[in-house]
Structure 1
């Protein structure tokens, strides 16, 4: 293993007092006055669902009983409409109003510290939530494209708008802490979090980190007016060997690795990010959760003055998991000791608070974590809270430290006045982002843009038959699948297929649109051909109706020509998140599957065994319909739209298609964005680097095998199918 610190090119910020450092003296005096149990509690962020009893009632009083510094909503948590948070498949009650109810109940739980000579100081709670592509836990929310799509726009303004609307929605829910932005550099598409990455240009990622945090936190140099950000995952999470989630980065030249992967954090630090979340991954088999880089790089050299937070159960993984991160395991006491001493200030855990308290009390009593180190962690957490007006400071103490206390109405979360104009503005910002994220990979004979006034027949194809554990469940039509447009981290951790969460009032509030929705809004008199299943869960009936549709196409063959007919074929990945999206992990092929975390969880849309390829093909039924339509005119155009979280192996669909659009996961406005681009209402690559690939697009799986390894140069995919920066343009004259 190389000496990781030997090659570091440290990057310094300005020498002035930082946004949070200015509150260190006051925070330190409060911390020094706290009991040991209060200090331990402040270093803990707990999944709120762990406070539920067997009947699903959330016992909020446990927050103050354990003196907690923060709680979080786990990936599958949602309110039940009765004031509780549950982990459930049914999240229809997860409205902003019900989230506000949860927030209000949580914020009533406070930690009271008696500061000698000044009296009671009340510490309030940080309420954390994921915000991967908007306020995704809230039903009816407008959702932006995932990061890899935003990166294809190469437009920082889209990130600023995403941060602004995410901030507004989270505040409307009563929460104050967002786990965003991810600033990982894109490397291997086999990684299940590839869609969370920001492309391959570190300079652009630095700009993104700065702009997003600045808008999200909205600080004025003294106080945070917006939502606390958490820049993540420090660092190199996007550069693991073979793209294994929670994997290991193979680094031979640390200087090259560091300079290419650190830039997003540099930008975020320039914007005063309040927290940095540490990655599960390792560098040369040293887990980042226990790496001295946290102290030496972030705190000492980059002068980071906020607090460091772990990822979910990170120390437990360091102790017990081993591969795919590292071959090393240790006791939980060693893991927490190493993590805290490396600079981790707050631990994110799923529950078992009493057990955590016991472990911490033991290792502190043994002197393995010093009082000075514990006080430093608490001081940093309190300094951030002071910058957020989350600590009620007695007047004498505030005067002593020249602290300005902004008064807030006690224990009340106000609903923001969200006007129709505001909702429209959010939608149009998301729509613009989605349009600018699309990349046109093929446009034979300049098919696009299509003159919609000449089209009298639109044929919509693209279906997937979903089975779970060998039992057929239903058919999904991806031209009418808003869930597939949004991917993972949508409502719940692994996301959803279908339109259940985008129907009726929820569809109205989110203004969500599928390709079918957008086509119907434009073609009142044209024939729109697609199968309207009477029961999408009945396989026998599905096959029967497919046969009927095939006959309908055959009977209308004489009407179809290259001038009046358009086939739109949609391909889509199933939604996934984190390691459930990993592809072709060697540990999943072994008999004991040690190191295969894919098999430790469940995504109902994915097969029991991890897939080994990113190849995606047009289905046999779709090929059959295309051949029938083209039987009398082989040049009837086929436009293929791919909804995916990453580049795929597209040899087959690319050869069949007249035009091909990589749409990524474009969010709730994705259907409208795609259709506007097909008919010239939006022109691809109208200016600058809009609509261009943020990463190279590989030809085959071989090109991303044993990749990346950091030597003396930044690793690159050799001879890709499409280079980074590729994207075809369309011109307005074709639409006339």
Structure 2
């Protein structure tokens, strides 16, 4: 294929090295139009004839993505010539949440698309942010914060490959991942979607995920279109006390806020990770809900066109976040004009797509949005579709009959278990760990030890996640301990009772599941019931290993730290809790290092390596081993 020849791969490698060299030397990201590993412009010979045949209605349709739940009838894919359909966080197929139901829904939508006048297939998008986390039975990997602590690009690329295979087994060909935000204030409820506070650690991991998802050739039925997000500064917003648009409660809010900094700081902390993903060939980028110095990124011409497309050389297309255009102006028509003229190529519209199509058409007819901007947007979308083989004359819209054979298989779960092992960070160890697998009695305490939903966190089946059995299959930490320490007597008590007399106590605490908006937290304290479990076990006088399940560093007071003989940050490990037990019992050594600073108190936030008065509990890069 044109985009996989040796010369282009060499160009890509040079671009990545150059991007990193620039960041290291200057502290800012200023690569000049680094070439991508995929030359999307080379597909113009396929795209131009199609673009020339399109009516204005078909062009604006191609620029529109509608939530499955917002379609009045699936035939709207055909009649409106839509460019894309997505399933949002809670938008599952009507016939259930099985792999088969997802595949049938995809095929239904795609059949409608190819039956339109020009027969241009749709892209079907989902947020598969730690495995195909929307679908029952899928393998769920650790969230990005854990992978950032593993700091293993090869591992991340392999995870991307398996994620692509599981996503394509449902027909879907577009994943809104990876998130390459640099979360600079851990009170943000999306911190676990970030690999690190440091863009230098994020950049190679984000590029690895792009390579894993997109594979060697986007035309292959095993490849998925990646989407780097959220451009730009989404992890740098300033904390404010205001009423949340999600919960209605007045409190600390960071989500969808304002990143206030000069251009040099924006480049150094929030732009620097993007050149590597662009060089890896990422086909789409999603602008952020958030603002930069008071101006919405979704309608920011300098950020989207001058910087991202022109300076950084991004040749794919921009997809707005979920209804993000609505926030650009109180008047919806004005908002649409601002966003499209700024550089948005495809609009993610949950329900008001008829209004969007009508208003965008009016803006073009009135001259407010130039036809040249419309043609540029559609050309970019069609180039990506051509690179994926969707415009080939022999394109088949169905799902490969064999694609689901390995869905959720034990081999894929073995990779997830490896990822868990490598993502754990041993924060403290007085010599108790590794535990003896043949100990007389191991007492496991805390309800979260036997809770797959807590283990997986947000973006697992439900948008916000849910405690309990999320029916994805998998192994809780408790079951993992029983499997790995099979020679020992393993007892369990959810509230921490009955620990006396045990050789070891493993106390599992942490955060309940949450996602964006709902997860903003001013205090980052452990729940009262978890603190009670710690206290009961400590009073029993048993050697204690504290395992923390969380989407970010939580507050551990001096008494908690002093009272534990070992502390392990397990993050949100996903479905394979046995990986935690592997490390606890020495089946493998802990190798993870903190990709985020661990503060002494929430009052220290934002706290990041390099701060003038840097006094954390555990510094960035900390991590013990055996």
TM-score, length basis structure 2: 0.88
**Equivalent of 1:647 in 546, 549, 553:** 553
Please say if 1:104 is aligned against 2:107: yes
Question: In 2 relative to 1, CA 391–524 (structure 1 residues): closer, same or farther, beyond 3 Å?
Answer: closer
Q: Partner of 1:255 in structure 2?
A: 264
Is the partner of 1:99 in helix, strand or coil? helix
Matches within 5 A, 1:398-437: 405=393, 407-409=394-396, 411-417=397-403, 423-437=409-423
> Aligned match of 1:456 in 440, 450, 454?
440
**Partners of 2:36 and 2:412 in 1: CA distance:** 36
Q: Which of the residues 479, 485, 493 maps onto 2:455?
A: 485
> What TM-score do the two structures reach when normalised by structure 1?
0.75
* Distance in structure 1 (CA, Å) of the matches to 2:406 and 2:222: 24
SS in 2 for 1:333: helix
> Hey, what's the Cα distance between the residues in 2 that align with 1:715 and 1:342?
34
- Report how far residue 492 of structure 1 moved: 1.4
CA drift of 1:66 comes to 1.3
Q: Where does the alignment leave 5 or more consecutive residues of structure 1 unmatched?
A: 1-6, 53-58, 82-92, 114-119, 320-329, 393-404, 463-476, 533-545, 585-611, 631-635, 686-690, 731-736
Give 1 or 2 for the bigger CA radius of gyration.
1
- Show CA shifts across 1:299-338 (max 9, x none): 112221111110000111222xxxxxxxxxx421221111
Which residue, 162, 165, 168 being the options, matches 2:162?
A: 165
C-alpha RMSD of matched pairs (Å): 2.5
Select which of 236, 240, 253 maps to 1:239: 236
Does structure 2 conserve the Cα–Cα contact (< 8 Å) formed by 1:217 and 1:224?
no
The residue aligned with 2:54 is: 34
Question: Aligned to 2:260, what secondary structure does the other structure show?
Answer: strand
CA contact (8 A) 1:695 1:724 kept: yes
Cross-structure match for 1:442 = 428
Q: Identify the residue that residue 734 of structure 1 maps to in structure 2.
A: none
Within the alignment, does 1:695 sit opposite 2:596 as a pair? yes
1:714 Cα deviation after fit: 6.9
**Cα drift, residue 523 of structure 1:** 4.9
d(CA) in 2 for partners of 1:191, 1:623: 26
Asked if 1:516 is matched to 2:454, the reply is: no
How many angstroms does 1:234 deviate by?
0.6
Summarize the Cα distance change of 1:726–1:423 in structure 2 as closer, same or farther, 3 Å threshold: same
Superposed counterparts of 1:179-578, under 5 Å: 179-220=176-217, 226-242=223-239, 244-251=254-261, 253-292=262-301, 293-319=303-329, 330-392=330-392, 405=393, 407-409=394-396, 411-417=397-403, 423-444=409-430, 446-453=431-438, 455-462=439-446, 477-502=447-472, 507=473, 512-523=474-485, 526-531=488-493, 550=497, 553=498, 557=500, 560=501, 565-578=503-516
Note closer, same or farther for the CA distance 1:383–1:627 as it changes in structure 2 (3 Å cut).
closer
Deviations 1:685-724 (A, max 9, x none): 3xxxxx110111111122115x78xxxx975772111111
Q: Structure 1 307/624 Cα, relative in aligned 2: closer, same or farther at 3 Å?
A: closer
3-state SS of paired residue (2:228): strand
Q: Is the Cα–Cα contact under 8 Å of residues 67 and 111 in structure 1 kept in the other structure?
A: no
CA contact (8 A) 2:597 2:620 kept: yes
Question: Greater shift after overlay, 225-234 or 26-35?
Answer: 26-35
Partner of 1:466: none
- The separation in 1 between residues aligned to 2:398 and 2:512, in whole angstroms, is 40
Distance 1:620 1:164 in 2: 39
Note if contact 1:484-1:498 (Cα within 8 Å) is conserved in structure 2. Answer: yes
